[in-house]
Amino acid sequence: MTFEYINFYVDYLNLTTFHSYEFNVTSFNETQMVLSAEDGTTISYQRQTLSISNNDNIFDKATVSQNPVQNHLSLKLPQKTEQVKLKIFSTEGKEVIGTTYKKEEILDVSFLASGIYYISLTDAEGIITNLKMIKR
């Protein structure tokens, strides 16, 4: 990340009302900017990537059982995975479902509008995989 990119954020936010700021690069593709006012008020901005690419690991074997989905979502999880944290996002990036999903569970998605959704699964070790779901 270049300083020009950082300065764009700083200039855009008009820092005249803030006493100090810090910009941290915590790891590859993870950044955080914290702005502090004189009264101690802070604002934190973070950048995260929402994607459908998968890491190369055993958890990649997770799939949507029937895609397109009608009213019920069922996932096939890897053999050793009993439950995961499940989040479903709309194409606008809005989280529409957040729950713990257990192996063999059937999740009601009948209230979702037809369209494309992105599923993010996190296992007990913190490994994340992402799937795409089409809702009819």
The encoded tokens of residue 84 equal 């995961």
Model pLDDT for residues 13-28, shown as the tens digit of each residue = 554 555 555 655 655 5
Measured distance CA(121)–CA(85) in Å, rounded? 6
Please give the domain boundaries of the chain with CATH numbers for all domains: 3-47 (no CATH), 58-135 (2.60.40.3080)
The encoded tokens of residue 26 equal 């915590």
pLDDT: which is higher, 77 or 41 = 77
Biggest alpha carbon–alpha carbon distance for the chain = 55
Q: Over 80: is that where the pLDDT of 3 sits?
A: no
Model pLDDT for residues 44-57, shown as the tens digit of each residue = 776 666 655 555 55
Question: Could you tell me what percent of the chain has a pLDDT over 70?
Answer: 63
Q: What does pTM read for this prediction?
A: 0.58
Model pLDDT for residues 78-99, shown as the tens digit of each residue = 888 889 999 999 999 999 999 9
